[in-house]
Amino acid sequence: MPVEITWWGHATCTVEDSGTRVLTDPLFARRLAHLRRRGGPPPPPRAAVADVVLVSHLHADHLHVPSLARLEPGTRLLVPRGAPRAVGGLRRLRHLRLTEVAPGESVKLGELNVRVVRAAHDGRRLPFGPHRAPALGYVVEGEARTYFAGDTGLFDSMAEEVGEVDVALLPVGGWGPHLGEGHLDPERAARALAGLAPRTAVPVHYGTYWPIGMDAVRPHEFHKPGEEFVRRAAHWAPGVAVHRLGQGESIRPEVAR
C-alpha cells in the first residue's frame, strides 16, 4: 500500500504508512483566540480519524484540547514530556492512550517506528504557566521515513539529528506577518531542506489562520510563504520534489526501495 500524505492546513497532516494513520498537531477550529481560519473551512470529520497522534509542543495552535477531544476512544497520543502537568485539559482526555516522550526516544506503533527528535522552539504553554516541556519533531519510519518538524528554527545539527528521510513536512510561515525566533521562514526552511536532502518536501504551517481584522493589512503575506518556499527550495535543494498542497490535498511520495 503506497504511502500517502494529506495536508489539512496549519501543521495538521495525516501520514498513512504501513496500514497506520498518523495525525500531526490536529487543529480543527474555525477560530482560536484572535485567529480566524481564513484558508477554507475546517477539515472534514475523516481528518480526525487516526491510529496515533503526534503533538509537537504546547502552544495552543499545536496542542488544541478541543480538537484532541474529537479523536476516537483508544487513539494513541504522543505528547512532549511534562505536557499533562502543564495543560490540565490533557488530563481530562481519558478516552485517549497518552504517552509522554522526549528527544532521543522511540515508540513502536504496529509496523511503524516513531523517533522523537529535537526542535529549536519555545515549548511552553503560553501565555502563562511556569511548566516547560520540550518542543519536538518526529520521524515516522515505515515504508517511508517522514520527518514532521513541528515548529522549529534552523539549527546546525538538524540534519544529523533527524537522519536520512524520504519526506520532510517543514513549517514555512505562521499566523501573522512576522515570525519570531525559533521559526522557519521560506529561506531558512529551504536551507534546512538542503541539509536534510529528502526526496520530497511539503510546506506546512502557513496560509490557514490569520489575525481577525488583518485581512486588509498586507494580505499578500497570507499565501506568500508557500510560494516563496517553492522558489527558494529550487535554489537551495534543486533535487528535492516540492509539493505545495491545497488544504485537503494528498500526495503519494516516491519512496526509496
- Mean pLDDT in residue range 169-177: 82
In the prediction, which pLDDT does 211 show? 83
pLDDT, tens only, 177-227: 566 667 799 999 999 999 999 999 999 999 898 888 776 666 666 678 999
pLDDT, tens only, 114-154: 999 999 988 767 655 555 789 999 999 999 999 999 999 99
CA 81 to CA 194: how far, in whole Å? 30
Q: Which of 192, 19, 22 is nearest to 8 (CA)?
A: 22
Question: Does the pLDDT at position 2 exceed 70?
Answer: yes
- Percent of the chain past pLDDT 70, that is, above it, reads 89
CA 150 to CA 182: how far, in whole Å? 11
- Mean pLDDT in residue range 6-18: 97
pTM comes to 0.94
- Specify the 3-state DSSP secondary structure of 228: helix
pLDDT confidence bin for 1, thresholds 50/70/90: low
Residues 246 and 39 sit within 8 Å (Cβ to Cβ): no
Between 156 and 219, name the one with better pLDDT. Answer: 156
Question: Does the pLDDT at position 163 exceed 80?
Answer: yes
For residue 234, how many other CB atoms are within 10 A of its CB? 12
Maximum Cα interatomic distance, the chain, rounded to a whole number of Å: 49
Nearest 5°: the CA angle 203, 160, 124 is: 60
Least confident of 38-42, 87-91, 121-125, 185-189: 121-125
Residues 253 and 6 sit within 8 Å (Cβ to Cβ): no
Backbone CA torsion sign across 253, 251, 159, 186: positive
